[in-house]
Amino acid sequence: MSGMERGMEIPAESPSVDAVRRCANPDCEKAVSPARGPRAKYCSRTCTNRAAARSHRSRARGRRAWAPPCPHSCERPGCDRLVDGERLRRRAKFCSSECERMAHSRPAPVHACARVGCGVAVPVERARHGGRYCSDQCARLARRERSTAHSKRSRALARQRSAARRDRALASRLEALSADATARIKQLEAGTAAIAREKAELEEIALGHEAAARDLAGWLWQLACAYGDQIVAHERVRMILTHYLPEIRGHGA
């Protein structure tokens, strides 16, 4: 046998893979089957449960001893019966399912009739079903009042909308009239300025004509002085001369 073969030999004293293991339960002498896996400590589920129970008992040592529950009064207000028997074992707070339902049920609210002017309280049966009025007559009257109020609000809203439309139309008309008046005022101002310019020009022309007429009258008077009064014998010429030459009025007379 070669050295390599001697190195691969398994010693006789070393345990094999399928070596027999003893159950970890002190009360059991059986061996652990290889079929339970390499990490199994117990031979069966029974030994596992017994070991777990023993461990639990060892941990529970020193705890307070268990005492059975004592009967107690029902927690529903107004009930004097005791909670006992099966409900006590289930740690119930109420003596019966009826008491539990009554304790958790919401009582019907007690309120006055919702109609304005009616102070009668709403009956329990009507309040339990969500009723707001003490009777059917009050409900009909309340519906009629709501309908009347709704009609009034609708008519008032219609009047407000109509007034708003009229106001908008009037505002639009006033705006148009204001724009037209502004345009006309601008036209009048432009016309007034043009008239003022024309008047100034006419005044300048009149002043020029008056100066020319005065010069002409002076020339005529000079001619009359030089050539005799025959040139001014005409009545219209004398009137023009006396108008533009006031200094000759006494002389002509």
pLDDT tens digits, one per residue of 141-192: 888 998 999 999 999 999 999 999 999 999 999 999 999 999 999 999 999 9
Could you tell me which residues come within 8 angstroms of residue 109 by beta carbon, excluding any fewer than 6 positions away?
Answer: 127
Q: What is the pLDDT of residue 17?
A: 44
Nearest residue to 81 (alpha-carbon basis) of 102, 58, 54, 56? 102
If one compares 71 and 67, the residue with the highest pLDDT of the two is 71
Are 30 and 43 in contact by the 8 Å Cβ rule? The answer is yes
**Confidence category of residue 86, pLDDT binned at 50, 70, 90:** confident
The more confident residue out of 233 and 28 is 28
Nearest Cα to 116, choosing from 76, 79, 145, 152?
145
pLDDT digits (tens, 9 = 90+) for 100-150: 888 777 665 667 888 888 878 888 777 766 778 888 888 888 889 989 999
Question: Does 224 score more than 50 pLDDT?
Answer: yes
Q: Up-side HSE of residue 80: CA atoms within 13 Å toward CB?
A: 0
Whole-number pLDDT of residue 110:
67
**pLDDT(220) > 60:** yes
Span 46-65, average pLDDT: 78
Question: For residue 177, what pLDDT is reported?
Answer: 93
Q: Which residues of 217-245 are buried (b: 16+ CB within 10 A; e: fewer)?
A: beebbeebeeeeeeebeeeeebebbbebb
* pTM of model > 0.75: no
For the chain, give the percent of residues with pLDDT over 90. Answer: 25
Task: Say whether pLDDT at 252 is over 70.
Answer: no
User: In terms of pLDDT, which residue wins out, 226 or 201?
Assistant: 201
pLDDT on residue 14: 41
**DSSP, residue by residue, the chain:** --HHHHHTPPPSSS--TT--EE-S-TT--PEEPGGG-TT--SSSHHHHHHHHHHHHHHHHTTSPPP-PPPPEE-SSTT---EE-THHHHTT-SSSSHHHHHHHHSPPPPP-B-SSTT--PBPPHHHHHTT--SSSHHHHHHHHHHHHHHHHHHHHHHHHHHHHHHHHHHHHHHHHHHHHHHHHHHHHHHHHHHHHHHHHHHHHHHHHHHHHHHHHHHHHHHHHHHHH-GGGG-SHHHHHHHHHH-GGGHHHH-
Q: What is the mean pLDDT of the chain?
A: 78
